[in-house]
């Protein structure tokens, strides 16, 4: 197991959201010039997962509508760029009215995209979109 500058028990915990439209496309976002990813981000100290999801949905996508969050699972990875471990807690979100693809202050681009196009991406976050939204068996490899 890779060791970083933090103790091996340290993980940055992030919540990620799967939001699907009726065509089966998934709402993805680009941040800070990076690749497509599921929207979401780090849980701040004292926040619940649901509060963090709501905050991240607003910061990245200007989503203010209430939603229901169904936990789907977790994914862990080592981020060379941060020399630390990251733990994703993935939720599927349901809305009474589907949010439009727009960006907030933390987003560069947002779109509903067929997640199958990310299967062979060179970017880890895009492959994770595929794994979580299409090939759940691969999500646990």
The per-residue pLDDT for range 12-41, each reduced to its tens digit, is 899 999 999 999 999 999 998 899 999 999
SS3 36: strand
Among the listed ranges 5-9, 29-33, 60-64, 124-128, which one has the minimum average pLDDT value?
5-9
Domain hosting residue 58, numbered range: 11-140
Structure confidence at residue 43 as a pLDDT band (50, 70, 90): very high
Answer whether residue 83 is part of any domain: yes
**Would 24 be classed as within a structural domain?**
yes
Confirm whether 3 is domain-assigned: no
Residue 138 has pLDDT above 70, yes or no: no
With respect to residue 88, please indicate whether it lies within any of the assigned structural domains: yes
What's this model's pTM, rounded to 2 decimal places? 0.86
Q: What is the CATH number of the domain that holds 84?
A: 3.90.79.10
Print burial letters for 34-68: b (CB count within 10 Å at least 16), e (below 16).
ebbbbbbbebeeeeeeeebbbbbbebbbebeeebe
Residue 6 lies in a domain: no
Q: How many domains, the chain? A: 1
How many Cβ atoms are within 10 Å of 97's Cβ, its own excluded? 7
Asked whether residue 4 is domain-assigned, the answer is no
In the chain, what percentage of residues exceed pLDDT 70?
90
* 53 is a domain residue: yes
Evaluate whether residue 21 is within a structural domain: yes
Q: What are phi and psi of 130, to 5 degrees?
A: -60, -50
- Please report which confidence band the pLDDT of residue 141 belongs to, taking 50, 70 and 90 as the band edges: very low
């Amino acid at each position: 197991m890779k060791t970083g500058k933090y103790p091996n028990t340290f993980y940055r915990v992030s919540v990620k959201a799967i939001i699907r439209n009726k065509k089966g496309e998934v709402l993805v976002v680009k941040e800070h010039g990076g690749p497509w990813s599921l929207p979401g981000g780090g849980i701040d100290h004292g926040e619940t997962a649901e509060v963090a999801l709501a905050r991240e949905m607003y910061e990245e996508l200007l989503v203010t509508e209430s939603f229901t969050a169904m936990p789907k699972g977790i994914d862990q990875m080592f981020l060379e760029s941060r020399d630390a471990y990251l733990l994703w807690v993935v939720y599927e979100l349901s809305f009474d009215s589907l949010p439009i693809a727009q960006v907030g202050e933390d987003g560069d681009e947002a779109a509903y995209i067929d997640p199958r196009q990310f299967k062979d991406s060179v970017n880890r976050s895009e492959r994770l979109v595929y794994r979580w939204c299409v090939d759940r068996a691969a999500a646990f490899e």
